[in-house]
Structure 1
């Protein structure tokens, strides 16, 4: 495996050192400016939209999932091992300063998340379960480059369906081995069996599972973190000062300087919140809403939920514990940190949390691959069956694999996928900006915004002509 590690390491060095970090920051600032910092000025609107249902009339329930379900599917993928193991890994390799750069990439990248998810809604298509879409679809329809969409589909199917699911399984098995002494192979077999039961049920079952698991696990985890922070409230100012100072290399003793903090913070931040990566738009496209900007705003909120709330909670607990110095472990570090705060039973609690977090991610990741297999024209049951078997196989592989190569592969394919998506949304950004402007103008007029693609100069959005007619009819009936 040494040759594989060498090749993967070389690719990561080039993409992360010279290309992706600069591109993420530059485009994040660009999208923030062009949307007039939508991620900050419309937070209240995001929260209000989260409760908006999927339907205007009864038959609408048959088409698509609700805004909250789409939010849950994407958050299920975002909220995973990146929030527990990834944060720990970032701190152990880059020092506390990595947390600062995770915050920055989330605050800036939230605008990028708005753009990509709005585009996914604009160019979504119908399927047997409602809607599907994502970067592959807006590359084909918006850029007229199907070949680019196929390239992205291959990358996301491999990255999320296979590699990322190995990462999730790896973290779960390590956590349970550490807490319960369970054999990783046996646990892997049990995990893959549960995953198979869920993924063979289709998007509706995936949506229901995500809708149940995500709010429960996020709220419970945040309550525990809040307890730890409150009981150590006098130390919080010094923790924040340590994070900021370390971010700029001013605390060399506890990290690798600014460069290590920057790279690890942005790597793990992107792995966690996925802003700009092109994954969450696949979930955003499934929602049934009256205007694409609505789902763009909801997905922006998902980035904040992931990084500003959950990742920060993990980071504060780890830094407050002081156990991160000299450690290069992932989930074990988080377990040690919480154990130092709450006692030995906390390690078991983290194992349960990581199971819920990572399991929800496996389910969400699987759907991203399925949607893109259908885009490539390989949506026949035989191909989907092969893909599902491959997912199950990679979950089992991840349960027993060496942690370093699994995370390195995740970094490499995440970078390639993000690069393709960022190029596409830069070229299509003006459509998302015009869509946001249309949404805001309708809100100012006191309307519930309804999207008419002709207002932003679009004529190749196959869903929205019918959607516009449907909402207009429903409005007249009310």
Structure 2
């Protein structure tokens, strides 16, 4: 029975991740890019300006304390979930299986997918609702309010809670305990208990505490990792031109042509780069909008921009840092090394033995922040399914159980089912945002118009003609200007 189930799940994952999802994400990403007139590039400077404003005003205004979290904190929550062990181990797997050219396709999918991230996060802001902690929202909410399809939202909520709230959190703990056992010889059970204890402290404090914790962890982990990568780059500065040449040639099969073969090798390169990029930045997957909805902003497009920047941060910055460390070290040529072992070996060859310890600590920060971010996605959707606090407490207990389970066990069928659930969840979300995209484009047009007039853009329910079932945008313009 188990082997039959495993076979069904495996075939489902192959169909979803090798054909359906990749086609949907690329085609819709291109559609959103052209319809928004290349929003991810046109407003790149504006994204940094808004992020800077959000960071300087974080947890400072009375309005923000009373209502949602700051725009910067929402960015940190989504980045916490996006930036996980996949940025260290996943990129290494892509290079070991697909070659250096996989990095190019990873970049390309991020540039295209950023437009999808803009659309879904803007919609999450438009259709968010108020709760006692501030705001919550995401795909389930815009499926119910924007499409009038609550059943669709219920299915999505169940899928994201099972995959992100439970299984992916177990995966993150599993990676942490393995890394610390290898680097420091710490017993996995002991490490699992410590992680579980810290998780209790954070998640029982609600979204505000989650926001404060990730606001501290995310910048530290990202900056530290990028600085080490920059050290490796500077150390090998003369090799940078040949590095980019290697990536481009391998990406288009030019090296394989010279070597006498292309076909399968090129397909492997493209598929691994695209899949790793999609897994890593989650653009269009329906996860980040749950964080985007929590922010207090004067216009939904502001958080759409912030979350678009999150895609660049994850893939163009963090994933590229890992790729450069591996390729500049030459460790990818070694046989038998893949995943986190390849990243550890590559960094150690460049900075010395402390590289192993540094990677272990990075995994701790990256993975723990992912546990917190993933947990919140589940919490938001539990609230959609049933607002009774008893269900939230049950959910929290189950999350803690899965965190501990992941520390000491690994059942492959569980991880494979999580991939299947995430794939199905992504398909549902992509259908929804395709149907609602005209609303996101109208909001962008309104934002651009107000910016051209020299205003700090403010959104109300009347900003888009015919907009219905919107709860949080009835405030007066004066109130919104204080956001």
Match of 2:454 among 442, 446, 453: 446
Find out whether 1:237 has 2:241 as its counterpart: yes
Q: Retained in 2: the 8 A contact 1:54–1:288?
A: no
Match of 1:351 among 349, 360, 363: 360
**Would you say how many aligned residue pairs link Structure 1 and Structure 2?**
473
Kindly state the Cα deviation for residue 372 of structure 1 after the two structures are TM-superposed. Answer: 0.2
- d(CA) in 2 for partners of 1:405, 1:98: 27
Match of 1:118 among 122, 126, 146: 122
Q: Deviation per CA, 1:260-279, whole angstroms, max 9, x where unpaired?
A: 22222222212211100011
Q: Structure 1 residues 404, 324: closer, same or farther in 2, change over 3 A?
A: farther
Kindly state the Cα deviation for residue 345 of structure 1 after the two structures are TM-superposed. Answer: 1.2
CA RMSD for the aligned pairs?
2.1
* TM-score, normalised by the number of residues in structure 2: 0.93
* TM-score, normalised by the number of residues in structure 1: 0.94
- d(CA) in 2 for partners of 1:330, 1:260: 17
Q: Structure 1 residues 251, 158: closer, same or farther in 2, change over 3 A?
A: farther
| Range 442-451 or range 86-95, more displaced | 86-95
Q: Retained in 2: the 8 A contact 1:56–1:471?
A: no
- d(CA) in 2 for partners of 1:146, 1:196: 31
- d(CA) in 2 for partners of 1:38, 1:234: 35
Q: Retained in 2: the 8 A contact 1:54–1:287?
A: no
Structure 2 match to 1:273: 281
Q: Which runs of 5+ in 2 are unaligned?
A: none
Kindly state the Cα deviation for residue 242 of structure 1 after the two structures are TM-superposed. Answer: 1.9
Q: Which runs of 5+ in 1 are unaligned?
A: none
- d(CA) in 1 for partners of 2:80, 2:179: 19
Matches within 5 A, 1:128-207: 128-207=132-211
Kindly state the Cα deviation for residue 380 of structure 1 after the two structures are TM-superposed. Answer: 2.2
- d(CA) in 1 for partners of 2:67, 2:216: 20
Kindly state the Cα deviation for residue 405 of structure 1 after the two structures are TM-superposed. Answer: 5.1
Secondary structure of the structure 2 residue equivalent to 1:182: coil
Structure 2 match to 1:399: 407
Secondary structure of the structure 2 residue equivalent to 1:466: coil
- d(CA) in 2 for partners of 1:15, 1:323: 32
Matches within 5 A, 1:77-476: 77-252=81-256, 257-325=265-333, 326-327=335-336, 329-377=338-386, 379-402=387-410, 408-457=416-465, 458-466=467-475, 468=477, 470-471=479-480
Q: Retained in 2: the 8 A contact 1:167–1:410?
A: no
| Range 395-404 or range 68-77, more displaced | 395-404
Kindly state the Cα deviation for residue 43 of structure 1 after the two structures are TM-superposed. Answer: 0.8
Kindly state the Cα deviation for residue 183 of structure 1 after the two structures are TM-superposed. Answer: 2.4
Q: Retained in 1: the 8 A contact 2:78–2:292?
A: yes
Q: Give the 4+ runs in structure 1 shifted more than 4 A.
A: 1-4, 54-57, 252-256, 403-407
Q: Structure 1 residues 54, 264: closer, same or farther in 2, change over 3 A?
A: same
Q: Structure 1 residues 409, 184: closer, same or farther in 2, change over 3 A?
A: farther
Q: Structure 1 residues 228, 97: closer, same or farther in 2, change over 3 A?
A: same
Secondary structure of the structure 2 residue equivalent to 1:465: coil
| Range 232-241 or range 57-66, more displaced | 57-66
Structure 1 match to 2:10: 9
Secondary structure of the structure 1 residue equivalent to 2:135: strand
